[in-house]
Amino acid sequence: MNKHTPGPWVVDPDSPTDISPADDLCLVIACISHVDEAGGRWLFGEQSKANANLIAASPDLLAALLNLENDDGKIPEHAWALIQSAIAKATA
């Protein structure tokens, strides 16, 4: 059973700093922002948008990794180790 909020997740079109379940935009899983160290202001720019999209894709990416099989050894060892490490990090 998942410890995290089930996906899919989306970036809220009305509030692009918020990541929510696709079926419940009232529930905010994460809020993305960046602090301008020089001015101390909260900013939302291209990097923040990219971070929001990556976080929103997380449940789909985890599901894809969990569905990979390497019984025949076609995935190189170093790549398989990266896959297993990412799964462990996401499910810790």
Tens digits of residue pLDDT in 28-59? 999 887 666 666 666 677 778 888 999 999 99
Task: Categorize the per-residue pLDDT at 79 as very low, low, confident or very high, splitting at 50, 70 and 90.
Answer: very high
- Indicate the pTM of the whole model: 0.79
Instruction: Specify whether the CB–CB gap between 60 and 66 falls below 8 A.
Output: no
Residue ranges covered by each domain of the chain: 9-91
15/83 Cα distance (integer angstroms): 32
Q: What is the dihedral of CA 65, 75, 71, 62, to 10 degrees?
A: 0
Average pLDDT in the chain: 88
CB atoms within 10 A of CB 9: 22
Q: Identify which of 28, 36, 35 has the alpha carbon closest to the alpha carbon of residue 9.
A: 28
